[in-house]
């Protein structure tokens, strides 16, 4: 959190940090309450009493955002928030800037699964994005207005980028560093999570294709 606020204070005169607590059952809520006091009024906390999934968390954050640009990332410390400057530097040449994980700090199976997923999404929807699910994206808030997103899980990134492309926005990619996870338990290779992702893909495929017919 310190890195995030230090970076924002250096590069922005008007900013807010929104943290979505998606039904955590540990002491996350208590920690966030202390941080809210420390960083008020620039830190806002959104709490889901029940887990709504990654997509639900992002939708809540997007709906609450009030500034001109929305940047989002995960809270597991696998990214350095200071590298948002790499995305900002690309804004003169694009409308939306997304990171791709250079030298991923994941084991071989996870990297293989990600490659297969990116290849599948590219073939189905024509999304030529190197790292679709990289949680390091910078989007103008106006581009999110009126956007209908339905995915609750892994498909949220595909649905988001496909919708933004449909609106004619230019999407640029920049490399960002990726660090080993030091807290929490990764679930990307959990068979139940993978199965849910494919179920969601099957459910949303017709709608996403309908708004991206040449994908």
Q: Give CATH superfamily name and number for 2-211.
A: Spore Coat Polysaccharide Biosynthesis Protein SpsA; Chain A (3.90.550.10)
Burial of 202 by CB count in 10 Å (0-12 exposed, 13-18 middle, 19+ buried)?
A: exposed
Residues 73 and 139: beta-carbon distance below 8 Å: no
What are 175-214's pLDDT values in tens digits?
999 999 776 555 555 788 889 899 999 999 998 887 665 5
Buried b (16+ CB within 10 A) or exposed e, 30-49: eebeebbeebeeebbeeeee
pLDDT, one tens digit per residue, over 29-65 is 889 999 989 998 999 999 999 999 999 999 999 999 9
Q: Are 186 and 133 in contact (CB under 8 A)?
A: no
Contact 41, 7 (CB under 8 A): no
0.75 exceeded by pTM: yes
Distance CA 164, CA 172 (A): 12
Does residue 172 contact residue 96 with C-beta atoms inside 8 Å?
yes
Domain ranges of the chain: 2-211
Strands 43-48 and 69-73: unpaired
**pLDDT tier at 3 (50, 70, 90 boundaries)?**
confident
- pLDDT for the residue 21: 94
pLDDT digits (tens, 9 = 90+) for 100-121: 999 888 889 888 989 999 999 9
Three-class DSSP category at 93: helix
Whether the CB-CB separation of 20 and 48 falls below 8 Å is answered with yes
Q: Using CA atoms, how far apart are residues 131 and 118, in angstroms rounded to an integer?
A: 7
Q: Give tens-digit pLDDT for 131-186.
A: 999 999 999 999 999 999 999 998 999 999 999 999 999 999 999 999 997 765 55
């Amino acid at each position: 959190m310190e890195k995030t606020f230090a970076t924002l204070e250096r590069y922005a005169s008007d900013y807010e940090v929104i943290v979505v607590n998606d039904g955590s059952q540990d002491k996350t809520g208590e920690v966030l309450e202390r941080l809210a006091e420390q960083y008020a009024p620039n830190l806002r906390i959104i709490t889901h009493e029940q887990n709504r999934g990654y997509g639900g968390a992002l939708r809540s954050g997007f709906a609450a955002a009030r500034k001109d640009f929305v940047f989002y990332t995960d809270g597991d410390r696998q990214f350095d928030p200071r590298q948002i400057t790499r995305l900002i530097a690309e804004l003169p040449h694009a409308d939306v800037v997304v990171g791709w994980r250079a030298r991923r700090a994941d084991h071989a199976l996870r990297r293989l699964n990600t490659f297969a997923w990116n290849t599948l999404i590219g073939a189905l929807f024509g999304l030529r994005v190197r790292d679709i699910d990289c949680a390091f994206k910078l989007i103008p808030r106006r581009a999110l207005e009126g956007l209908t997103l339905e995915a609750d899980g892994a498909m949220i990134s595909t649905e988001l980028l496909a919708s933004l492309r449909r609106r004619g926005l230019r999407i640029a990619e920049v490399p960002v560093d990726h660090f080993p996870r030091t807290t929490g338990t990764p679930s990307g290779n959990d068979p139940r999570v993978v199965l849910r992702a494919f179920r969601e893909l099957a459910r949303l495929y017709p709608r996403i294709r309908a708004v991206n017919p040449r994908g």
